[in-house]
Amino acid sequence: GCRSSAGVLEIGTYCGNSALRLATALPGVPVTTIELDPILVAVARSLIEFAGASRWVDVWTGHSSLVIPRLRSRLQKARGSKANLHFNAIFLDRWGSHYDEDLGLIQQHGLLKTPGGVLVADNVLSTAAANFLWKVTRRPPQSVQQVQSAQEVT
């Protein structure tokens, strides 16, 4: 049910634009976003607050390799839930050379809803995401049902 969903996870907040777009497109759905750079976290939190979306968008500071393993327990504690929380969608939006590691951690910790979860990876052709692309396109794991290419939306 809905209580087991943690909404949408974004890895790579930058200034918060994508998180705000997700929150606007999906009213009432929680958006959790992770950013390594504390200055960008401050910028994103300010913009999200200014836009009136802080109720739905939560910006976390830290490297994904350190945050992802703790994500489920932190969300369960924050929401007062014992449910096995997972995200309906995960958006990878940082330097692509880390997508491979992020995918492994997402799978290891069961953070993406299966079946039916959506994983979106931005800029895979221009950010050294070769290992990630190789893994999701060669004999895809059972969790990968479709790999699509899309034009950049600006």
DSSP run (H or E) holding 137: helix 130-137
Q: What confidence tens digit (pLDDT) does each residue in 95-123 have?
A: 888 999 999 999 888 899 888 889 999 88
Distance of alpha carbon 97 from alpha carbon 48, whole angstroms: 27
What is the number of residues in the chain?
154
Pick from 2, 4, 34: nearest CA to 18: 34
Judge contact between 120 and 92, C-beta under 8 A: yes
Query: Which residues have CB under 8 Å from 52's CB, separation 6+?
Result: none
Residue 93 banded pLDDT, cuts 50, 70, 90: very high
For residue 123, what are the contacts with CB-CB under 8 A and spacing of at least 6?
Answer: 93, 96, 129, 152
User: For the segment 27-83, what is each residue's pLDDT rounded down to a tens digit?
Assistant: 999 999 999 999 999 999 999 999 999 999 999 999 999 999 888 777 777 767 666
Residue in the block written with tokens 């999200």: 48
Record the pTM: 0.86
